[in-house]
Amino acid sequence: MRALALFAAVLLAAFSTGCGDEGAATQRVRLVTTTSTANSGLLTHLLEPFKTETGIEVIVVPVGTGQALALGRRGDADLVLVHAREREDAFVAEGHGIDRRDVMWNDFAIVGPPSDPAGIRGLRRPGDALKKILASDALFISRSDDSGTHIRERALWAATGVDPADNESYWKAGQGMGKCLVMADEKRAYTLADRGTYLAFRDRIELVILMEGDASLRNPYGAILVNPAKHPGVNASAARALLDYMTSPRGQKRIAAFRVDDEVLFQPATRE
Amino acid sequence: MIWEGIKEAFHLIASGDRQVLHAVYVSLFCTVIAIVAAGFVAVPYGAWLGLYRPRATRTQAFLLRLGMFVPTVVVGLIVFGLLSRHGLLGGLDLLYTKLAIIIGEFLLAFPIIGSMAYAATADSNPVALESARTLGASRWQAMRTVLNEVRLAIATGFLMAFARCFSELGVAITVGGNLEMRTRTLASTVVLDLSRGRFGTALAPGIILIALAVVITITALSLAREKKR
């Protein structure tokens, strides 16, 4: 009998906390974002004060930019934080998103084996480097997964006027940044990487940065509210509070203060 | 979404989509080679355990069954460690090839086929083995006689191995690399479509995978039954 009472008590407790989430007790906001922001640890650092002050729970869903926007289109997100400007604009134009704001930027780099078999070290323009890699015997690993990095890589190729698609030494991996870095390291190949993921992998791989700093390698992140008029299920007020915080002077300072191995990964949007 | 996936599956097949057909080819090619190769070793091994009960049979049988539970990614990771540039077999340069997938799927198939061969032969009528032996059959011939008796169980073992390898992801992604027109399988196509946010399209390779599995299962079982009759 006592066991039964205990069981009932546990059930009741589970139920009441479970239902409590639906009510006003804890607010939840689903932030769908790219793996680069989540895996680097930035979001944990950035969101900590927001959580303690507002009590709003942020559920971070790290996926590729393509999937992030697709989840937004289905109304399965409250706020998206991605990096692919044209797609972001399309997302807003279709009415799925409102109030797009610049949050921060980081940059891409072309990484490759230290021996640099294609000889791209010292070149000025990313396009020249890509052409030289394709002409060499070395492989180039392409993300080929419609991620923000892949979209940028395609734009860089398009600017060269060369289509690498059917080249034997151009491998389309269809995988995330980390896996592509490992693959490039294994095959002594080149790839385009975002700096954050590269820094996170630097200790475990031999690849070095061989091309960086060009304006065409800059990578801005934008945050977009999922339109509550189109997707009534979204938690618009909490999402707006989070967006306001990220773009506020405090949030921007917090982004600027974030370091991995003493290196700055993301520059706040307010800093040019 | 499911309807969209079915429509897309038909469309991809009917239009002869180069990439999907190649993924079908990679999936079938790797799986068939892996389970045939595994069968050549695992069936005699399992039958030897079941019929002649050598030393430590129970430990070996236990390990075989344990092998069926190892997650495919763990097998992928082990093969990756072997084939990596810094690994034991790194010099062979096999990483991100179909052969790498076949090696991993061999390891997935072996415990399943071996366990089935062991269970079927250990359970078989001992009279069959003894009479074959007294009739002057060698150990090997006697084993074949018994295996013929338990054909259906062995075929089921092959089917289970086929199912595990054909639909697996851990090996294909980790050591295959999901490379377009090289090592991309039907299952890894689903993962990629998903990461691209194409939920409807992602279902299509899955549906093709299931359809192929239906055809193969029916064919294999009817073949095994026919022979038994």
Distance of CA B148 to the CA centre of its chain: 21
Token pair, residue A244, equals 């306001």
Q: Is there a contact between A227 and A95 (Cβ–Cβ < 8 Å)?
A: yes
Amino acid at A248: S
Domain containing B9 equals 2-228
Nearest to B102 by CA among B175, B163, B186: B175
- At residue B55, the 3 state secondary structure works out as coil
Which residues, in sequence order, are CB contacts of B16 under 8 Å at separation 6+? Answer: none
What is the token pair recorded at A237? 């007020």
Convert the pLDDT of each residue in B153-181 to its tens digit: 999 999 999 999 999 999 999 999 999 99
Instruction: Write down the pLDDT at residue A65.
Output: 84
Q: Which two tokens stand for residue B129?
A: 């083995």
A 125-164: CB under 8 A from B: 144-147
Residue A262, C-beta contacts closer than 8 angstroms, at least 6 positions apart: none
Name the class of domain A107-217: alpha beta
CB contact under 8 A, A183 and B198: no
Q: Which residues pair with A108 in a beta bridge?
A: A194
Pair B101, B175: CB distance under 8 Å: yes
Identity of the residue in B85, B180, B191 whose CB atom sits nearest the CB atom of A144: B180
Cα→Cα distances A137→A117, A120, A140, A167, A187, Å: 8, 13, 10, 11, 12
| CB distance B36 to B110 below 8 Å | no
What is d(CA B13, CA B7) in angstroms, rounded to the nearest whole number? 10
If you ran DSSP here, which 8-state letter would residue B176 be given?
Answer: I
Q: What are the domain boundaries of chain A?
A: 27-105+220-268, 107-217
Q: Choosing among A63, A154, A175, A207, which should be mutated to test the B contact, i.e. which has the most B CBs within 10 A?
A: A175
Does A172 contact B at CB distance below 8 Å? yes
DSSP A89-154: HHHHHTTSEEEEEEEEEEEEEEEE-TT-TT--TT-S-HHHHHHHHHHSSS-EEE--SS-HHHHHHH
- Cβ pairs bridging A and B (under 8 Å): 64
Total domains in the fold of chain B: 1
Q: Give contacts of A67 with chain B, Cβ < 8 Å.
A: 194-197
Contacts of B85 in chain A (CB under 8 A): 185-186
Distance separating alpha carbons of residues A111 and A210, to the nearest angstrom: 5
* Residue A105 dihedral angles phi and psi, to the nearest 5°: -145, 150
The whole-angstrom distance between A180's CA and the closest CA on chain B is 9
Chain B positions with Cβ closer than 8 Å to A: 84-85, 95-96, 173, 177-182, 184, 188, 191-192, 194-199
Please tell me the distance in Å from B189's CA to the nearest CA on chain A: 9
- A68 contacts in chain B (CB < 8 Å): 197
Q: A171, A177, A180, A185: which to substitute to probe chain B, counting the most B Cβ within 10 Å?
A: A171
The DSSP result for A86-100, as a single string, is: HHHHHHHHTTSEEEE
According to DSSP H, which parts of chain B are helical? 2-14, 18-52, 57-67, 72-83, 98-122, 126-134, 139-149, 151-166, 170-171, 186-195, 199-228
Q: What are phi and psi of A140, to 5 degrees?
A: -120, 125
**Interstrand relation of A97-112 and A190-194 (parallel, antiparallel or unpaired):** antiparallel
Give the helix/strand (H/E) hosting B1.
none
Hey, CA dihedral for A40, A46, A52, A58, is it positive or negative?
Answer: negative
Retrieve residue A175's tokens: 């995988």
Tell me the C-alpha to C-alpha distance, in Å, between residue B161 and each of A69, A254, B41, B110. 38, 52, 14, 8
Which among A64, A174, A185 has the least Cβ separation from residue B180?
Answer: A174
Residue from B48, B203, B27 nearest B139 by CA: B48
Mean per-residue pLDDT pooled into runs of 10, chain A (272 residues): 55 49 68 86 93 94 89 95 92 96 94 97 95 96 91 95 94 94 97 90 94 92 96 94 96 92 86 69
Chain A neighbors of B195, CB-CB under 8 A: 63-64, 66-67, 145-147, 174, 176
What residues pair up with A142 in beta bridges, in sequence order? Answer: A172
Given a contact cutoff of 8 angstroms between Cβ atoms, the answer to whether A46 and A73 are in contact is no
Is residue B151 within 8 Å of residue B227, measured between CB atoms? yes
Indicate yes or no: CB of B195 within 8 angstroms of CB of A183. no
pLDDT attached to residue A24: 47
Q: Minimal CA–CA distance to B186: which of B15, B24, B64?
A: B24
What CATH code is assigned to A27-105+220-268?
Answer: 3.40.190.10
| A69–B178 CB contact, under 8 Å | no
**Contact A224/A79 with Cβ under 8 angstroms?**
yes
pTM for this model (two decimals): 0.80
| Distance between start and end Cα atoms, chain A | 69
The confidence score (pLDDT) of residue B229 equals: 53
Number of other CB atoms surrounding residue B91 within 10 Å: 9
* Chain A nearest-CA residue for B176: A173
Q: What is the CATH classification number for the domain harbouring B99?
A: 1.10.3720.10
pLDDT of amino acid A7 = 57
Check residue A22 and give its pLDDT.
45
E strand or H helix that includes residue A184 = helix A177-186
By Cβ distance, the residue of A145, A186, A187 closest to B195 is A145
Residues in chain B with pLDDT < 50?
none
Angle between helices B199-228 and B151-166 (to 10 degrees): 170
